[in-house]
Structure 1
Amino acid sequence: MEQKKTVIVTGFEPFGEHAVNASWVAVQELEKLGLGHDINLHVAEVPVEYQAVQSLLPSLWKQHLPQLVVHVGVSGMATTVTLEQCGHNQGYMRLDNCSFCPKSRCCLEGGPDCIHSVIDMDTVCKRLNSSGLGISVSVSKDAGRYLCDYTYYTSLFLGEGRSAFVHVPPLGKPYSAEQLAQALRAVILELLELMEHNKGKKHCLHDQ
């Protein structure tokens, strides 16, 4: 019998002008929907604090041994569901919810400047936009040098690229929590499918 896949999906706590964080609301809605009976879904709320991310993420990866970790964040500028391709190591100047900022201004001293997800977000985006989902999806290569980018980079490093980051617009601008949850579900199933497909491709090369 095939083992169930494990997927962790996180959202963030409120910060700044986001008194309700659309990312966590959408992730809680996603938890109600589930990802199907063959996938274990774990959700977690991430504090908007650099130090909390540094302790929480390694424990999530270690405890659940997920195939994929998807972080969801809110962007006041987003009008689409935005797939982030990479995380950045340096340039963290903004204070977090504890008024803290890393002295080094980076996630991982000596780490690579940029880590890309193993998943090609352009492919995921094209598939979703032609799927009749009814929600616009776009791709970005700059997650904003705040907790979203910081979390993504840390997770990409810990999971050797088996991570994704999705920015969602604030609730009602234009999508409801339910619509965002549907979109996240479609995104995650597409991400898993692509990972499967890529794994298969590597085996083929191996066999020849």
Structure 2
Amino acid sequence: MTTTKPTTNIQYAYLTGFEPFGKDMTKNRSWDTIIQLNNEQIAITNDHQNEKAQGQNYDPPVTEIIHCVTERLPVEYEPIPKLLMPKHRHGTTAISNSSSNDKSPVYIPPNKPFRYFVHCGAGVPGIVRIEVQAFKYGYFAPGNGGPTDIPPDNCVPGYPYSMLKTSVDVFGLVKYLQEEKKWGNDIVISQNAGAYLCEYTYYVSLAENQLKRDGVKTLVPKDSSDFDDQNSGVCCVDRITRYLSLASKEPSSGRNDDYNGDGDKASDPNALILFVHVPPSGGPYNDAQLAQIIRDILVWLNREYRKGNSKV
């Protein structure tokens, strides 16, 4: 059996919540939940007990650190792709180390991919919902920017997929949270992310990752000028051509190792993406418990989708 020294791996998680929305709102529980994990490092040790018990060869013990990076998102449509796109394409390079929140900034090295994207929003009272899918169309409710804060054509611009599902086994995750972690039946599976900023954010994150898996070089813009063009009804010919060439393409279920588009080595085609809706206020969980549920989700993702696992 192998007896080499243990190793430590660091993975990065990008966690988001939202600013307050609506009149007279001063807080958003999604951000109150996520900010508790800012710059937290979650240690997970894989000591290969199953392999040892069976007398099999095994890798040295591995301590995996999940470093949590948090960001508060605006309740406005236009900024969302501009904020999420760099995290998918350039990983930690897109993160400023001069944190604007209350906790002291921690150094985050550049050029590291985000392995986990967990977005959080305020949902309905009484339950935590793990969302399965997000749609490109159907965004009619205005954001905090006022009556005109609605995306062009009520859809997410620039992506060819009409609907996307997370690659995460949401059924297995919910079962783990309910039974193994004893959080009970107030954590449920949802297939309706709300057709608002929550679903819009989820779709953008899923679509960015799907572009990497499909090996698409350039589809959505690198800067804000293209979004401005779309908002004014102008779209350049080469973007129309690229869109039409992909519009009927079904999302790939596998990795394309030839992807070398706008992303770089800090772009992970197998990133794991989830959206979690927490109750806007009240029970059944307090803010500290909701933060622990997010930690439990990250630990489960690491366990179930560890490198070399057949699920990856």
Check whether the contact 1:30–1:182 (CA below 8 A) recurs between aligned residues.
no
C-alpha deviation, 1:145, in angstroms: 0.5
What is the alpha-carbon distance in structure 2 between the residues aligned to residue 202 and residue 180 of structure 1? Answer: 27
- Counterpart in the other structure of 1:178: 288
Q: Secondary structure at the match of 2:35?
A: helix
Paired amino acid for 1:193: R
Aligned with residue 27 of structure 1, among 24, 34, 47? 34
Structure 1 residue 195: Cα displacement = 2.2
Q: Which has the higher helix share?
A: 1
- 1:8/1:69 contact within 8 Å kept: yes
Deviates more, 1:170-179 or 1:44-53: 170-179
Equivalent residues in 2 for 1:37-186 (5 A)? Answer: 38-61=65-88, 62-64=90-92, 65-75=113-123, 77-99=124-146, 100-109=149-158, 111-135=160-184, 136-160=186-210, 162-186=272-296
| Runs of at least 5 residues in structure 1 that lack an aligned partner in the other structure | 204-208
Distance 1:132 1:147, change over 3 A: same
Q: Is the 8 A contact 2:19 2:28 kept in 1?
A: yes
Q: Which has the larger radius of gyration?
A: 2
Paired with 2:183 and 2:167, the residues of 1 have a C-alpha distance of: 26
Task: Classify the secondary structure of the residue corresponding to 1:16.
Answer: coil
CA distance in 1, matches of 2:42, 2:76: 28
TM-score by length of 1: 0.88
Q: How many residues align?
A: 201
Structure 1 stretches of 4+ with a deviation exceeding 4 A read none
Contact 2:39–2:69 (CA under 8 A) maintained in structure 1: no
Displacement, 1:162?
2.7
**Higher relative contact order, structure no. (Cα contacts within 8 Å, ≥ 6 residues apart):** 1
Q: Which amino acid aligns with 1:113?
A: S
Aligned to 1:192: 302
Change (3 A) 1:159 1:139: same
Q: For residues 98-126 of structure 1, what are the alpha-carbon distances to aligned partners after superposition, in whole Å with 9 as ceiling and x for unaligned?
A: 12101221113552111111101011001
Give, as a single letter, the amino acid of the residue that structure 1 aligns with 2:153: S
Which residue type is aligned with residue 7 of structure 1?
Answer: A
Distance in 2 of aligned mates of 1:202 and 1:32: 28
Q: Which residue of 2 aligns with 1:15?
A: 21
* Residue in 1 that maps onto 2:108: none
Aligned to 1:201: 310
- Matched-pair contact (CA < 8 Å) for 1:6–1:66: yes
